[in-house]
């Protein structure tokens, strides 16, 4: 890297030019504190452009100095002949060699370098000496992630959405993808729950000819999401139930009817009745767990009684009341 | 058929059928030593399922021409046998299982008709009543513009009296079959669905009226008929639409000429969902209330199936009280709740259908207990 250290008027930095930006510093106060304490140890890297100096690396440091109301800042100025590809490599290495880049940063690095590489494999190979190890398959996924709204990229970087769930958001509109990112950020579902919630909402939106962001605003869901009385766990649980009830209304009614009738059988402790999966088969399972003959006798007596119970007949007939 | 290119498998190059097909279509032909190169080309296309419909591979059937219907565990199969004359289809139904059945799907027509004829002869020689059809891995009538196979089969079946042929189609292309002496050994069958389903989910198929008109022509030519309400699809307003189909059907077709009517609902292997979502983005059929059934396929939640079947059966019974109705791939609970009996009470579904075929088509073979 050919660079010359110079003191530059901070107003000459074109901070709005983000062509080489890999990171999105959220908290410049922390950087500002460090600079105040120890000085600017690692000056930003810039290149002279038409309207001032373009930042190549050190966006956080430059912003922190600006916030500290510095008039001038020491920078390493790259030779004007440094190619855009080399600038990008410097940008990646400057970050990746000092710390682990999060997924959103990796995503930006990959997206910016994409045009210089023939395929994912060569891009992966280009990144390796810069301190960024990304397998070609992941490179492909990151290309796709970069096309998604920034909220989704950030939620993925923060692990609020799994990468695979994030990529499934490609199939929906951007506003809905952002709504899902926000939902997962606040409810923190597990990966399986993310898939379940997303596919439930996606299918419902298709069926009801609406968009997911609008669907989330219907009273049935909004009531749960906006509730001040429910904690995160309860909201998540109720939302999943509400989505399922709306997506599978008849099956949900059948399950409710089953549980209501099962309760009315008033089975002895240790007894349980299980329906066939999805009520498709005809075989129900009665379980009896006991630890004494007395308990078994009580259960046997109960069994005799429930065999005559009209609700057992209704259970076996899989009767569902009409909605 | 919008075939753009014909490939000939080296093994099939000298078959007379190959020569006849090529002469009829008059398209560029390429000989291949192994179809794998075609498969690779089709798989690389952005829509392989559509690409497979524009290429015809003439090849030999290296397996058996006559096979048992694959059926599925836990559900009652009708014991039909498949005459495997070709694969895939030039029409394009959203729900078509063939899209996910072959990897990738390619139109294939088998050319070793010498072996087909030998196997058919053995089938007839068994002296056992058998129902056989060509409409499982393809549509029975799409091949006629390329090769008059259905015509030859109708003629062939007319000269024996143990088996019946069922030609199942969504086309209306029956004109070439009307004058053939069929001796009632061929059942002409149509898949029926509502106008809405046909319009939105069955691309390039004949319309409902055209299908029924074709059935009417076959009726006039003395063919026994069959109809398949399969796959029934639930959507708002579907009941009235299915009722309209029943009305239209019985306004033109005499129930006495109907050998059977089968009913089944939309079911699919889970992997088909992605294909339908990709290829038919406006279709919402995969978003119904489906559960994973006992055979791993997605089926409508059972009470929904029962309700829809009961309703359709009542409508059919109003018009045709005596017509034989059966379910395609349903279990005894469905039979009992929707039809009021199980096939077991009649010796099993296969036997019920064999007996019906024997009486309606004049078959003299033994009816087997299966
Ligand atoms: S007509 Fe039958 S074989 Fe052809 S695409 Fe439709 S479902 Fe598939």
Q: B217 alpha carbon to ligand 1 midpoint, in Å?
A: 22
CATH of the domain at B283: 3.80.30.30
Domain that holds residue B264: 62-361
Check if the beta carbon of residue B91 is closer than 8 Å to that of residue B172.
Answer: no
Q: Is the peptide bond before B104 cis (omega within 30 degrees of 0)?
A: yes
Task: Please state the domain count of chain B.
Answer: 1
- Please indicate, yes or no, if residue B51 is contained in any of the structural domains: no
Q: Is the peptide bond before B149 cis (omega within 30 degrees of 0)?
A: no
How many angstroms separate the CA atoms of A100 and B137, rounded? Answer: 54
DSSP A11: G
Check if the beta carbon of residue A111 is closer than 8 Å to that of residue A24.
Answer: no
A257: contact with B, CB 8 A cutoff: no
Q: Chain A interface, mutation test: which of B291, B296, B336, most A Cβ atoms within 10 Å?
A: B291
B270: contact with A, CB 8 A cutoff: no
- Please indicate, yes or no, if residue B206 is contained in any of the structural domains: yes
B200: contact with A, CB 8 A cutoff: no
- Separation of CA A101 from chain center: 17
DSSP B369: P
The residues with which A47 forms a beta bridge, in sequence order, are A54, A78
How many angstroms separate the CA atoms of B178 and B219, rounded? Answer: 9
Cβ of B107 closer than 6 Å to ligand 1, yes or no, is: no
Minimum Cα–Cα distance from A282: chain B residue: B333
Cβ of B94 closer than 6 Å to ligand 1, yes or no, is: no
- Please indicate, yes or no, if residue B163 is contained in any of the structural domains: yes
What distance, in Å, lies between the first and last C-alpha atoms of chain B? Answer: 39
Nearest to B293 among A248, A280, A320 (CB): A280
B-contacting residues in A 258-277 (Cβ below 8 Å): 277
- Please indicate, yes or no, if residue B47 is contained in any of the structural domains: no
Nearest to A251 among B74, B284, B291 (CB): B291
**pLDDT, tens digit, 9 for 90 and up, residues A55-112:** 999 999 999 999 999 999 999 999 999 999 999 999 999 999 888 898 889 999 999 9
- Please indicate, yes or no, if residue B101 is contained in any of the structural domains: yes
**pLDDT, tens digit, 9 for 90 and up, residues B16-37:** 999 999 999 989 899 999 889 8
Segment A184-195 shows an average pLDDT of 97
User: How many CB pairs (< 8 A) connect A and B?
Assistant: 44
Q: What is the CA radius of gyration of chain B?
A: 20
B-contacting residues in A 178-237 (Cβ below 8 Å): 203-204, 206-207
A254: contact with B, CB 8 A cutoff: yes
The residues with which B145 forms a beta bridge, in sequence order, are none
Q: B137 alpha carbon to ligand 1 midpoint, in Å?
A: 8
Q: Collect all residues of chain B within an 8 Å Cβ-Cβ radius of residue A278.
A: 291-293, 301-302
Q: A27 alpha carbon to ligand 1 midpoint, in Å?
A: 59
pLDDT at A321: 72
Q: Which atom of ligand 1 is nearest to the CA of B142?
A: 4
- Please indicate, yes or no, if residue B244 is contained in any of the structural domains: yes
Distance from CA of B282 to the nearest CA of A (A): 9
Nearest to B287 among A203, A279, A280 (CB): A203
Cβ of B93 closer than 6 Å to ligand 1, yes or no, is: yes
Distance from CA of A186 to the nearest CA of B (A): 27
Q: Which atom of ligand 1 is nearest to the CA of B169?
A: 1
Check if the beta carbon of residue A105 is closer than 8 Å to that of residue A157.
Answer: yes
Q: Between the CA atoms of A260, A264, A265 and A268, what dihedral angle is there, to the nearest 10 degrees? A: 100
Segment A231-257 shows an average pLDDT of 97
Nearest to B301 among A203, A204, A251 (CB): A251
What does the pLDDT profile of chain B (370 residues) look like in tens digits?
589 999 999 999 999 999 999 999 989 899 999 889 899 999 999 999 999 999 999 999 999 999 988 777 788 888 889 999 999 999 999 999 999 998 889 999 999 999 999 999 999 999 999 999 999 999 999 999 999 999 999 999 999 999 999 999 999 999 999 999 999 999 999 999 999 999 999 999 999 999 999 999 999 999 999 999 999 999 999 999 999 999 999 999 999 999 999 999 999 999 999 999 999 999 999 999 999 999 999 999 999 999 999 999 999 999 999 999 999 999 999 999 999 999 999 999 999 999 999 999 999 988 877 6
User: What is the pTM for the complete model shown?
Assistant: 0.88
Nearest to B289 among A206, A251, A282 (CB): A251
State chain B's maximal CA–CA distance in angstroms. 57
Check if the beta carbon of residue B132 is closer than 8 Å to that of residue B164.
Answer: yes
**DSSP-based three-state secondary structure for B313:** helix
CA atoms within 13 A on the CB side of A35: 23
Determine whether the interchain pair B294/A280 forms a contact, defined as Cβ–Cβ distance below 8 Å.
Answer: yes
Q: B91 alpha carbon to ligand 1 midpoint, in Å?
A: 6
A316: contact with B, CB 8 A cutoff: no
Nearest to B294 among A171, A249, A281 (CB): A281
Hey, whose CA ends up nearest to atom 6 of ligand 1? B93
How many angstroms separate the CA atoms of A143 and A147, rounded? Answer: 7
- Please indicate, yes or no, if residue B80 is contained in any of the structural domains: yes
Determine whether the interchain pair A250/B331 forms a contact, defined as Cβ–Cβ distance below 8 Å.
Answer: no
Determine whether the interchain pair B333/A320 forms a contact, defined as Cβ–Cβ distance below 8 Å.
Answer: no
B274: contact with A, CB 8 A cutoff: no
B299: contact with A, CB 8 A cutoff: yes
pLDDT at A220: 97
Q: Chain A interface, mutation test: which of B301, B310, B334, B344, most A Cβ atoms within 10 Å?
A: B301
How many angstroms separate the CA atoms of B255 and B321, rounded? Answer: 9
Q: B92 alpha carbon to ligand 1 midpoint, in Å?
A: 6
How many angstroms separate the CA atoms of A318 and A309, rounded? Answer: 14
Q: B24 alpha carbon to ligand 1 midpoint, in Å?
A: 23
């Amino acid at each position: 890297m050919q660079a010359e250290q110079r003191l530059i008027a901070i107003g000459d930095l074109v901070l709005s030019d983000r062509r080489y930006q890999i990171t999105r510093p959220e908290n410049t106060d922390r950087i500002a504190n460090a600079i105040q304490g120890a000085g600017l140890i690692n000056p930003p890297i810039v290149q002279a452009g038409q309207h001032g100096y373009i930042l190549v690396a050190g966006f956080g440091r430059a912003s922190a100095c600006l916030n500290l109301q510095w008039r001038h800042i020491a920078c390493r100025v790259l030779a004007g002949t440094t190619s855009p590809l080399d600038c990008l490599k410097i940008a990646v290495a400057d970050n990746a060699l000092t710390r682990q880049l999060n997924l959103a940063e990796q995503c930006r690095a990959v997206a910016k370098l994409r045009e210089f590489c023939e395929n994912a494999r060569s891009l992966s190979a280009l990144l390796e000496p810069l301190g960024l190890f990304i397998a070609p398959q992941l490179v492909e996924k990151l290309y796709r992630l970069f096309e998604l709204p920034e909220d989704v990229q950030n939620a993925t970087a923060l692990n609020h959405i799994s990468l695979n769930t994030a990529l499934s958001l490609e199939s929906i509109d951007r506003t809905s993808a952002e709504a899902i990112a926000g939902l997962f950020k606040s409810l923190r579902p597990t990966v399986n729950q993310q898939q379940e919630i997303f596919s439930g909402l996606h299918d419902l939106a298709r069926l009801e000819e609406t968009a997911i962001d609008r669907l989330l605003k219907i009273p049935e869901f909004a009531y749960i999401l906006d509730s001040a009385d429910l904690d995160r766990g309860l909201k998540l649980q109720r939302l999943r139930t509400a989505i399922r009830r709306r997506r599978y209304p008849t099956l949900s009614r059948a399950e409710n009817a089953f549980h209501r009738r099962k309760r009315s059988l008033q089975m002895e402790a240790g007894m349980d009745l299980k329906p066939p999966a999805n009520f498709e088969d005809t075989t129900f399972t009665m379980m009896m767990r006991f630890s004494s003959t007395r308990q078994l006798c009580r259960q046997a007596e109960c069994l005799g009684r429930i065999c005559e119970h009209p609700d057992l007949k209704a259970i076996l007939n899989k009767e569902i009341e009409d909605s | 058929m919008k075939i753009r290119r014909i490939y000939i498998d080296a093994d099939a190059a000298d078959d007379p059928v190959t020569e006849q097909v090529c002469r009829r279509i008059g398209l560029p032909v390429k000989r291949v030593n192994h179809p794998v190169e075609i498969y690779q080309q089709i798989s690389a296309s952005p829509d392989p399922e559509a690409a497979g419909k524009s290429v015809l591979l003439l090849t030999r059937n290296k397996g058996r021409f006559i096979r048992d219907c694959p059926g599925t565990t836990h559900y009652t199969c009708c014991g039909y046998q498949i005459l495997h004359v070709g694969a895939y289809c030039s029409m394009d139904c959203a729900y078509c299982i063939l899209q996910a059945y072959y990897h990738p799907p390619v139109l294939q027509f088998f050319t070793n008709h010498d072996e087909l004829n030998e196997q058919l002869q053995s089938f007839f020689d068994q002296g056992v009543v058998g129902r056989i059809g060509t409409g499982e891995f393809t549509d029975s009538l799409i091949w006629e513009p390329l090769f008059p196979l259905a015509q030859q089969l109708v003629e062939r079946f007319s000269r024996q009296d143990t088996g019946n042929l069922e030609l199942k189609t969504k086309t209306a292309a029956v004109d070439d079959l009307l004058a053939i002496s069929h001796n009632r050994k061929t059942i002409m069958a149509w898949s029926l669905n509502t106008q809405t389903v046909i319009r939105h989910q069955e691309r390039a198929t004949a319309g409902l009226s055209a299908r029924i008109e074709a059935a009417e022509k076959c009726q006039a030519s003395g063919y026994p008929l069959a109809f398949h309400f399969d796959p029934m699809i639930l959507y708002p307003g579907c009941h009235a639409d299915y009722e309209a189909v029943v009305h239209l059907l019985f306004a033109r077709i005499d129930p006495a000429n109907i050998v059977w009517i089968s009913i089944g609902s939309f079911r699919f292997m889970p992997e088909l969902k992605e294909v339908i979502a990709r290829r038919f983005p406006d279709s919402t059929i995969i978003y119904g209330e489906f559960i994973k059934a006992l055979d791993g396929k997605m089926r409508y939640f059972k009470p929904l199936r029962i309700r829809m079947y009961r309703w359709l059966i009542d409508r059919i019974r109003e018009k045709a009280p005596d017509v034989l109705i059966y379910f395609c791939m349903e279990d005894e609970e469905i039979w009992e709740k929707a039809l009021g009996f199980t096939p077991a009470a009649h010796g099993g579904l296969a036997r019920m259908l064999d007996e019906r075929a024997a009486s309606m088509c004049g078959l003299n073979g033994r009816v087997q207990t299966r």
